[in-house]
């Protein structure tokens, strides 16, 4: 008995000593490789860290690159490989939102998008923040929530945790509460973040939190990072000018266990009360995936087809939502499947376009690309038209997988579904360009460029629409543009300060109205025949600040509008009044597919596929 007591006391002392160890580490954030001075700024920081033997490791809290390109990620890795001590890294929104690889290259180049390690009696956990490939507020990917669940189960309730995510753990993240609620069941003591490019101290629902500044120099002569000291139950932050000076402490946080069970504070959580306002809308069934769904759905008489970001393409029973078959690709899927008879066509970020048997999921053919295939196919008369990230746009026979033609001069990567109109294929890419190709030959008919040097303003995420010999597009620069369908000349282009349309758009069934969703959460309706940007009416959807790029669609007099917070709105086309709204989750609606008999299939980024009926 005495021996057992001695052993327990010894183990307790060891644990207590481990927790009391003091150590130092570097917190580097928002390096934005691709920015004009970013590489030089990071090299200077790496050299400074290498010269400091007191630092035990380095944490990099996201926005490693400016545009998430493969070249930027490879350069960041090359520079960071010069570090002479362990380093742990997570992506930020810039690394995933504009990723030509479909957010695969970060994982390939750095090994993972999350981390777990222990040091000095603390366990450090880092997760991705999104958004991946689809503009919206941030979102911890569904698969990382699943990972967090499994990881936290292995930890004793009193084991001290320091959590790292790029975003503030508030409404900046659509599902912040999914992470914080889990962490609060354990011994979470500190959250580290970036994103804001400034040194700031926060408190998220009782959890002390620190935002580290950007490593970029901005208007200064050199950049900076933070040296963090964990000692005597505190975390102390000092800003370090590489190869220069270390400032006085600007933040000091007490590290301690919090009894969140006794916290009676009411913290904000998203409300689903809108579903009670419109009780006529019900979910016939809801399927919950184990990862994100960054695409929409296709359907036939018996099945609904979708895909996820662990690379699975699958079919659900249209009546019950039960899974019927699964086909596994080698990369995340952001491509919305398309049907032609018994053929299902879909692209994968593993660099392939697949033709599957719609009934069984069996692979019938495979067309390789040189990079990820993030675009969605459009099928017309047995031909699938689809863009990829390798600068090639392809037309493929859906029966045989034979390439009918390919256009290899796309200046950027394609993430959207093309438009077929008057014998031409129209699409944009993330290099500012918008293309018109001959649908029979693939020859370039015309090319339009918005003239903006910033590629983040490209007309790349919208599903273009057409009417009256005009092609309509919207973009993150908040312009709506009407182009002549034959020549590509600009009919009109307008940026209305009061009606700030972004990437979500659609067209009425009779092609007389063009729909645009604004950043203020309204549905703006424009005259498709006017020679200027003519606003017909505007409906306040009461969505607040709104970014969802997902296309709108009209059917049987209802316009279905997506949102970035899981709400689908049906608006009467005739007068602009709201027919109903329904909230499925608090994350981006990635696809809306109206069916017959007052049903609609909705997909959301946090892995939901639902059949709604009204």
**pLDDT recorded at residue 452:** 85
Q: Are 380 and 420 in contact (CB under 8 A)?
A: yes
The CA distance from 240 to 263, in Å, is: 36
**pLDDT recorded at residue 39:** 98
Please name which of 374, 324, 320 lies closest in space to residue 102, comparing C-alpha atoms: 374
Please name which of 199, 209, 214, 267 lies closest in space to residue 235, comparing C-alpha atoms: 209
Asked if the model's pLDDT at residue 3 lies above 50, the reply is no
Question: What angle (nearest 5°) sits at the alpha carbon of residue 141, between those of residues 137 and 144?
Answer: 145
User: Would residue 242 be called left, alpha or beta, if left means φ above 0 and alpha means ψ between -120 and 50 degrees?
Assistant: beta
Q: Are 516 and 481 in contact (CB under 8 A)?
A: no
Mean per-residue pLDDT for 194-208?
98
Looking only at the bridges linking them, the beta strands covering 343-348 and 338-340 are antiparallel
Asked if the model's pLDDT at residue 528 lies above 70, the reply is yes
- Tokens at 127, concatenated: 């997760």
What contacts 568, CB < 8 A, 6 or more positions away? 560, 561, 562, 581, 582, 583, 584, 589, 592, 600, 602, 612
The CA distance from 85 to 95, in Å, is: 24
Mean pLDDT of the chain: 95
| Residue 592 binned pLDDT confidence (cut-offs 50, 70, 90) | very high
Share of the chain above pLDDT 90, in %: 94
Asked if the model's pLDDT at residue 12 lies above 60, the reply is no
Asked if the model's pLDDT at residue 387 lies above 70, the reply is yes
- Tokens at 592, concatenated: 């809306």
The CA distance from 230 to 20, in Å, is: 9
Q: Which residues are bridge partners to 419 per DSSP? A: 426
How far, in Å, are 299, 315, 382, 463, 589 from residue 593 at the CA level?
A: 8, 15, 21, 14, 11
The CA distance from 43 to 58, in Å, is: 14
Q: How many angstroms from the chain centroid is the CA of residue 219?
A: 30
Asked if the model's pLDDT at residue 8 lies above 50, the reply is no
- Tokens at 538, concatenated: 């505007």
Mean per-residue pLDDT for 55-80?
98
| Residue 20 binned pLDDT confidence (cut-offs 50, 70, 90) | low
Cis peptide before 101 (omega within 30 of 0): no
pLDDT tens-place string over residues 82-94: 999 999 999 999 9
- Tokens at 306, concatenated: 């979708």
pLDDT tens-place string over residues 394-445: 999 999 999 999 999 999 999 999 999 999 999 999 999 999 999 999 999 9
pTM of the model: 0.94
- Tokens at 202, concatenated: 């926060």
Which element (helix H / strand E) includes 109?
Answer: helix 105-110
What b/e readout covers 346-363, taking b as 16+ CB neighbours within 10 angstroms?
bbbbbbbbbbbebeebee
User: Would residue 68 be called left, alpha or beta, if left means φ above 0 and alpha means ψ between -120 and 50 degrees?
Assistant: left
Mean per-residue pLDDT for 285-309?
97
Which element (helix H / strand E) includes 15?
Answer: helix 2-20
Asked if the model's pLDDT at residue 133 lies above 80, the reply is yes
**pLDDT recorded at residue 21:** 80
**pLDDT recorded at residue 500:** 87
Mean per-residue pLDDT for 246-271?
95
**pLDDT recorded at residue 13:** 41
Asked if the model's pLDDT at residue 108 lies above 70, the reply is yes
**pLDDT recorded at residue 11:** 44
Least confident of 88-102, 246-260, 488-502: 488-502
The CA distance from 41 to 221, in Å, is: 10
pLDDT tens-place string over residues 456-501: 999 999 999 999 999 999 999 999 999 999 999 999 999 887 788 9
Three-state DSSP class for 564?
coil
Asked if the model's pLDDT at residue 572 lies above 80, the reply is yes
């Amino acid at each position: 008995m005495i021996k057992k007591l001695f052993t327990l006391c010894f183990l307790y002392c060891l644990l207590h000593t481990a927790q009391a160890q003091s150590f130092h580490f570097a917190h580097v954030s928002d390096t934005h490789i691709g920015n004009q001075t970013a590489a030089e700024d990071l090299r200077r920081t790496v050299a400074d860290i290498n010269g400091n033997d007191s630092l035990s490791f380095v944490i990099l809290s996201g926005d490693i690159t400016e545009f998430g390109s493969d070249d930027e990620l490879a350069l960041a890795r090359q520079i960071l490989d010069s570090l002479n001590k362990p380093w742990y890294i997570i992506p930020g929104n810039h690394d995933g939102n504009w990723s030509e690889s479909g957010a695969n290259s970060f994982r390939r180049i750095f090994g993972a998008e999350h981390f777990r390690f222990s040091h000095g009696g603390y366990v450090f956990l880092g997760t991705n923040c999104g958004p991946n490939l689809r503009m919206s507020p941030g979102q911890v990917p569904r698969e990382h929530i699943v990972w967090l669940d499994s990881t936290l189960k292995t930890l004793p309730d009193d084991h001290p945790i320091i959590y790292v995510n790029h975003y503030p753990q508030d409404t900046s993240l659509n599902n912040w509460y999914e992470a914080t609620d889990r962490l609060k069941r354990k011994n979470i003591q500190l959250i580290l973040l970036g994103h804001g490019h400034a040194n700031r101290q926060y408190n998220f629902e009782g959890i002390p939190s620190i935002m580290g500044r950007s490593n970029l120099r901005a208007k200064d002569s050199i950049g900076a990072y933070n040296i963090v000291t964990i000692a005597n139950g505190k975390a102390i932050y000092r800003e370090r000018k590489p190869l220069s000076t270390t400032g006085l402490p600007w933040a000091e946080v007490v590290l301690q266990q919090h009894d969140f069970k006794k916290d009676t504070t009411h913290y904000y959580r998203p409300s689903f009360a809108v579903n009670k306002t419109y009780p006529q809308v019900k979910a016939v069934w809801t399927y919950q995936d184990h990862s994100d769904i960054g695409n929409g759905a296709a359907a036939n008489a018996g099945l609904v087809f979708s895909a996820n970001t662990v690379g699975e393409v699958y079919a659900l029973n249209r009546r019950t939502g039960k899974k019927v078959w699964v086909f596994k690709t080698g990369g995340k899927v952001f491509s919305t499947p398309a049907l032609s008879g018994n053929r299902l066509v879909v692209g994968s970020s593993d660099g392939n376009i697949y033709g599957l048997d719609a009934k069984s999921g069996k692979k019938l053919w495979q067309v390789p690309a040189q990079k990820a295939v993030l675009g969605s196919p459009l099928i017309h008369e047995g031909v699938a038209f689809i863009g990829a990230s390798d600068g090639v746009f392809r037309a493929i026979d859906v029966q045989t997988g034979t390439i009918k033609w390919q256009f290899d001069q796309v200046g950027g990567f394609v993430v959207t579904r093309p438009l077929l109109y008057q014998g031409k294929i129209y699409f944009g890419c993330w290099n500012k360009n918008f293309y018109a190709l001959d649908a029979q030959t693939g020859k370039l008919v015309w090319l339009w460029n918005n003239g903006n040097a910033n590629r983040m303003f490209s007309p790349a995420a919208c599903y273009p629409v057409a009417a009256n010999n005009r092609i309509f597009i919207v973009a993150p620069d908040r312009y709506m543009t009407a182009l002549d369908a034959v020549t590509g000349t600009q009919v009109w282009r307008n940026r209305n300060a009061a009606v700030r349309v972004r990437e979500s758009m659609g067209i009425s069934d009779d092609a007389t109205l063009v729909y645009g969703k604004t950043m203020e959460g309204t549905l703006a309706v424009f005259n498709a025949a006017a020679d200027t940007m003519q606003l017909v009416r505007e409906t306040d959807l009461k969505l607040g600040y709104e970014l969802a790029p997902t296309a709108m669609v009209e059917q049987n007099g209802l316009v279905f509008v997506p949102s970035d917070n899981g709400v689908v709105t049906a608006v009467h086309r005739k007068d602009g009044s709201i027919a109903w709204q329904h909230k499925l989750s608090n994350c981006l609606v990635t696809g809306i597919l109206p069916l017959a008999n007052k049903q609609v299939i909705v997909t959301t980024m946090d892995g939901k596929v639902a059949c709604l009926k009204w």
